Every structure is written in structure tokens, then in C-alpha cells.
A = this chain, B = another copy of it.
Amino acid sequence: MRLGRVIGRVWSTVKSRQFEGRKLLVIQPISADGKDTGQEFVAADAIGAGAGETIYWCRGKEAALAFLPDQVCSDATVVGIVDSIHTGKG
């Protein structure tokens, strides 16, 4: 899983019916110390994350597993909100 911050939303009328009723978030990937680390992208929300929150997300087949038993063709899904991170770096 990767760390990220919720920075926005995407609205979409024409879409795969598997995405009906799913919230689509714009995510900025970040490092463990909160720095931006790459290109923002669109993720489906599995847990109710909101703007500004630090989250972790998974990708690939696992991103779809998060919605079981529903079949959702998501390749990036927000699966948790971070309370705190402790690392031994620095």
C-alpha cells in the first residue's frame, strides 16, 4: 500500500456501471514524512475518506478486492485512513 493525501474529487456521468454510486477521489501520493512523491491519480473510495486526510491505498487486483462481494473494476482504492506513522528514519 502507498501513502497519499486526498486533494479532490472527480465527477463523472458516463462511466462503467460498476462505478455507479462510488465516490472517486483525487489522490496525491506522499512519503512517510508527508512530501509529495508523484503524479496525482483517481482512486475509488472504500472507507469514507474526505478532503485533506492522509490515507493509504492499494492498487491492482487488490483494489478490486476491497469492494467484495461487489465486482468493481477499480485499480486504485483508498482502504484506510492513517492515524499516525512512526519510522526510525531521521
- Chain A residues within CB distance 8 Å of chain B: 1-3, 7-16, 18-19, 24, 26, 28, 31-32, 37, 39-44, 46-49, 51-52, 56, 58-66, 68, 71-77, 79-89
Is the beta-carbon distance between B18 and A65 smaller than 8 angstroms?
yes
Please judge, given known A-B contacts A1-B24, A12-B82, A42-B1, whether A75 and B89 are in contact too, CB under 8 Å: no
A-B contact pairs, 12 of them (CB 8 A): A3-B42, A8-B32, A11-B84, A14-B47, A14-B49, A15-B47, A16-B47, A26-B32, A51-B88, A52-B88, A73-B77, A73-B79
Query: What does DSSP make chain A's interface, helix, strand, loop or mixed?
Result: mixed
Identical copies in the complex? 5
